[in-house]
Structure 1
Amino acid sequence: MGLLDDCELHYGTRDLYELLKVSKTCSEQAIKRAYRKLSLKVHPDRAADDEKETATIKFQILSKISKVLLEKEGRDLYDKERRILDDDEVLSEEYSWINYWSSMFNLSADDIRQFHEKYRGSAEESEDLKEIYKECEGDMDVLFEMQICSSIEDEPRFRKILETAITEGEVPGYDKFVNESKAKRTKRKKFFAKEAKEAEAARKANGLNGDDKSLEQMILKRQKTREKEADSFFSHLEEKYAKKPKATGARKRKPKKT
């Protein structure tokens, strides 16, 4: 099976743009944002044990799709002929997964700010919220871990959206959400308050005053550290998910000469 067959099998469509929920004329940045969002949703490390295999396949499919659409030749070929390069061409052994993943997550302060402003309060955020709510079966602790661009101050707004969705039959009324105890809500609020306090302390320790320029300086200052952390993280992902499984059996094949 080819990549388009895999897309149809696991995502229900052969249209790469439809799968990523972007337009055919979208920018590279839009493709990167869509890819990041979807890949986090199907991340194998977040999947239940009985779903890890499927999550890994879906994760790999998204990686291949983004590689196709972010290379001019690959995207032009797909747009003109609805055809893509085969797996060996798309993901050659010479290709650096670490550099690829690092570039996908290399965002400036302005990128982050613009995305937050556009996403928060949007229909897209509402749909994502409902999907995550169903995935975590109403557990708000897990929801806040998975919902991007969120903070504990969003809880009243999120609850209103979800309560309306429950009333209208869009999502189930999970017991974890409907009957969540006041004690658990308070514990969650304290946890986020503690995190915010630690972040504020770190901000002051770095001499930041909270304005946009300071945010940009902080991002630039920590760029090298983040790149090292990303190399380690994505190297781990490559080892776990991006490589094809080794052949089993008593006899091992000798590597082909290049």
Structure 2
Amino acid sequence: MLKLKNYIKNDRQGIMSILPGFLLSFAIAIVSYLLNRFIFHSLGSATIAILLGIILGNLYFKQVTLFAGTAWSEKKLLEFSVMFLGATVTFQTIGKLGFSGVGFILIQMISTIIFVLFMGKKLGFSANVSALMASGNAVCGSSAIAAVEPVIGAETSEKRTSIAMVNLMGTILMLSLPFLGTWIFGNNDLLRGALIGGTEQSVGQVVASATMVNPNTTTLATLFKIMRIIMLIFVVLYFGFRSKKQKRNEQGPTQIKIKRNSFYPGMFLVS
């Protein structure tokens, strides 16, 4: 009975610790939706939410009490969003992209991982930071970093550095790709969707960027993005075995456990 009371007490404390940051995240989402609906129609609510988060988070909401809730919203809600995105993936989805679309995604992801690992080494980043940035840029930003972090044994500081770098680049691309895509490809929605969905780091950034073009581009960009998310588990496995091999070479034969994230089985069950 005492253990049950302690469990309930700890559970309540956990909920109360994340509540302030969660409510702030929820409030920003509501404000962004209203601003998009009544004032900034062309930006999209996701773009407004990201920009508001950057501005308000750096200027006003730096309180320690908010960190747990905003971190929970970033990590856990992203995990569920990735899982439910799998529900939209069907053979018809893949067929709409075609073999060339799937091939483009594979080439893009492989080349991104190789390039970021190379540049990370040249710029003096640690192997873990390079791996986290490679996964974040190749797949789905912070959620990919959160998935790869435990399998390579990265430190919290390395995770934060990677998220900051990936989100900074993602924000720049989010605002520039709609104009760059139209300049290069004209009114070709498929190619603009491929550029945005195949390049942008996070799901939110893809949607935010594509909605600045038109609804059809948003649909196509989302399809390309979903295909990248499908590949997440293979990226996690790759970096897990890569890390295991590196540690074996450094320390000799050791047993390294690969932790699983909750959204892997869920994503494939609903897809």
TM norm structure 1? 0.25
Kindly name which structure, 1 or 2, has the bigger radius of gyration based on alpha carbons. Answer: 1
Flag the structure with higher helix content: 2
TM norm structure 2? 0.24
Q: Return the structure number with greater relative CO, CA threshold 8 A, min gap 6.
A: 2
